[in-house]
Amino acid sequence: MSLSANYSSLTSWIEVPEGSDFPIQNLPFGIIRINGGKKRVASRIGDNVIDLKTLFVLGYMENLPFEMEDFDSDSLNRMMRKGKQGTRKLRERLLKLFSTGSADLKNHEHHVNQVVVPIDQVEMCMPVEIGDYTDFYSSREHATNVGTMFRDPDNALLPNWLWIPVGYHGRASSVILSGEAIHRPKGQQKPAEDQNPVFGPCKLLDFELEMAFITYDGKALGDSISTEEAEDYIFGMVLFNDWSARDIQKWEYIPLGPFLAKNFASSISPWIVTLDALEPFKVDGPDQQPEVLDYLKYRGRKSYDINLEVLIQPDGGEENSVCKSNFKYMYWTMAQQLAHHTVNGCNVRSGDLMGSGTISGPTPDSYGSMLELAWKGTKPIPMNDGSERKFILDGDTVIMRGFSSKDGVRVGFGEVSTKVLPTK
């Protein structure tokens, strides 16, 4: 269902700078702290945040299915438990209050001064309490590239890949917010086939360009969510850098898959963009052959046109764009991922995080990891300062940005930015 907030002609009485990711058509949700106070729920328009707790206290949330505690909270989980219809009604109310021509709030300057806060006066906080985190492996181009490098180029995809959205359960405790630095991980690596493993700092540290979706409460244990229902259980999306230690992973992943190579950190952007805000940017998904099993079939458009970029900033240096990709390249859609995740009766809960898997496009400049961009280190990526990168070095900051654009409206995610510090 498209909301009126998606119409390209709408504007807000709050100034929105040209090229902003956050016009009134977006209205994302996040958690803020003002002047060191308590955390609370907020939205954003342009370079200002909307304090939803204060908006509630001042009486602008009447006849909505929320209580003050839903906004006076250090996570969005309470608010999300009102489900799709609840958060949709909330966005519609915000749209009404902040649209050009609406005077209900605008004419009360003393209220506006309490509710509208410049972004530079705000500390962004982790938006959700993540109970569980699942990471998928859903880019055909990425899976093909990795299979070509490490297995048989003529049989790059494993036999199950075109039949199921492959995934694994990750570590929720080490999901961190944009701006928080990480230390280079350490672990076992195997220098050569005829040598014993050694222990030490990761030598092949990599980013993974991903997006992630965050769920509402799902169905009861034992019940499944269909592809038709799936988007009713998805609250919204964030940018997601799922860090990877390639040399540690190569040694440990057989027979059970990633462990220490993946659980040291995963970085997310602070604003959650709802599926309602992304509705105008739906596109057809890729042709899926062989034909998928019935529970994975879907009708209509379930893919999203979201432009993505990765940049590397050396310590004290300039940003270097190393990748431009798009979420629409994903082979398996979010609806299929959630349907597969729950088809065995697995229950999902409010705040669960589902990573897309590395998003690689069809051209070398759209590959979503250094493993692919530098092709196992054989094609180093030049930086503006004359250095080059095969993988990520200490002092580097990896920045990911994403936005959708159509009919003059840009709906974006801001960025996820993480600096790499030396091993502890």
CA gap 61, 403 in Å, rounded: 29
Average the pLDDT over 117-127 and give the result: 98
DSSP 8: T
- Taking only the tens place, the pLDDT of each residue in 64-95 is 999 999 999 999 999 999 999 999 999 999 99
Catalytic residue among 110, 111, 142, 183: 142
CA-wise closest residue to 340 among 142, 134, 41, 146: 134
Q: What is the pLDDT of residue 6?
A: 53
Q: Which residue has the higher pLDDT, 151 or 111?
A: 111
Question: What pLDDT band is residue 394 in, cutting at 50, 70 and 90?
Answer: very high
At residue 273, the 3 state secondary structure works out as: strand
Q: List domains and CATH numbers for the chain.
A: 4-125 (2.30.30.230), 133-421 (3.90.850.10)
341 labelled catalytic = no
Question: What pLDDT band is residue 208 in, cutting at 50, 70 and 90?
Answer: very high
DSSP H or E run through 146: helix 140-150
pLDDT for 1 beyond 90: no
On average, the pLDDT of the chain sits at: 96
Amino acid (one-letter) located at 395: G
CA-wise closest residue to 409 among 18, 49, 13: 18
Query: Are 206 and 245 contacting, i.e. CB atoms less than 8 angstroms apart?
Result: yes
Query: Are 14 and 21 contacting, i.e. CB atoms less than 8 angstroms apart?
Result: no
pLDDT for 120 beyond 90: yes
Query: Are 1 and 25 contacting, i.e. CB atoms less than 8 angstroms apart?
Result: no
Q: What DSSP letter does each residue of 177-199 carry, written as one string?
A: ETT--EEPPEEEE-SSTTS--EE
- Taking only the tens place, the pLDDT of each residue in 289-320 is 999 999 999 999 999 999 999 999 999 999 99
Average the pLDDT over 36-42 and give the result: 96
HSE (CB half, 13 Å, CA atoms) of 116? 20
Q: In 36-166, which ranges are E strands?
A: 40-45, 48-51, 116-118, 122-125, 133-136
Strand partners, 272: 29
Look at strands 320-326 and 205-206 and give their pairing: unpaired
> What is the widest separation between alpha-carbon atoms in the chain?
76
CA gap 176, 270 in Å, rounded: 10
Q: What are phi and psi of 251, to 5 degrees?
A: -85, -30
CA gap 104, 102 in Å, rounded: 6
CA gap 258, 168 in Å, rounded: 8
Question: What pLDDT band is residue 4 in, cutting at 50, 70 and 90?
Answer: low
HSE (CB half, 13 Å, CA atoms) of 164? 10
- Taking only the tens place, the pLDDT of each residue in 373-384 is 999 999 999 999
Question: Encoding tokens for residue 412?
Answer: 């974006």
What's the CA angle centered on 22, arms 11 and 218, to 5 degrees?
A: 110
Percent of the chain past pLDDT 70, that is, above it, reads: 99
Q: Given the structure tokens 């998606």, which residue do they identify?
A: 6
CA gap 126, 39 in Å, rounded: 10
Q: What is the pLDDT of residue 2?
A: 43
pLDDT for 406 beyond 80: yes
Look at strands 133-136 and 397-406 and give their pairing: unpaired
